[in-house]
Structure 1
């Protein structure tokens, strides 16, 4: 189980303080959120499943909890939510594997540089 002490419990006090510190930004964010999660080409359930997956990739515990609840409310099954999480896990792992091409490129360049330096000295 995740150590919740790293993430303070959401309270009305926190919500009020955030609103006091940046009311315009909060209003804009809420409007953006409503626009993104409102009716559109994708149904609410699909949008929430995407949000659950992305929340796992971005590792936002508040987003994971909130969007999992919203996905359930939108009619997503527990199996659908878990499958979305596995898609996120594969994408994260796949990205690490795909980025190995960068390391291979550096190793190739450094290997060629070492060979060139070795040839210069012999």
Structure 2
């Protein structure tokens, strides 16, 4: 990634966020912990899903954090890249699917 420099989050950021709104911060951290705990899906699968979603939402911090977490959970580079390709197809698929709105607005025109 070139051009835009994304700031790194620090412990000071986390402490300030908590000091400004401790209740929601604690609730979010507990929610996150519960979501990524093994359940019907194992932790690696959940992290691969998170990698895909992070690419769709285009959050560089989420991409970094969840790729690292996926690796810690044993995901291979190939699995991570495959999850990213799934995300790319889903994002493109959504644009394709929403074309019906434009088609309805265009009407019965059959020529380009």
1:98 aligns with 2:97: yes
Alignment of 1:8-87 (within 5 A): 8-87=7-86
Structure 1, unaligned stretches of length 5 or more? 112-122
Query: Structure 2 length as normaliser, TM-score?
Result: 0.91
Distance 2:2 2:66 in 1: 17
Q: Give the direction of change, closer, same or farther, for the CA distance of 1:41–1:2 in structure 2 (3 Å limit).
A: farther
Distance 1:29 1:87 in 2: 27
**How far off its partner does 1:3 sit?**
3.6
User: Structure 1 or 2: larger helix share?
Assistant: 1
Number of residue equivalences: 109
Structure 2, unaligned stretches of length 5 or more? none
1:108 aligns with 2:107: yes
CA RMSD in angstroms, aligned pairs only: 1.4
Distance 1:46 1:2 in 2: 30
Structure 1: 4+ residue segments shifted above 3 A: none
**How far off its partner does 1:4 sit?**
4.4
Question: Any idea what the Cα deviations from partners look like across 1:63-111, whole Å, max 9, x if unmatched?
Answer: 00000000000000000000000000000001011111111111118x7
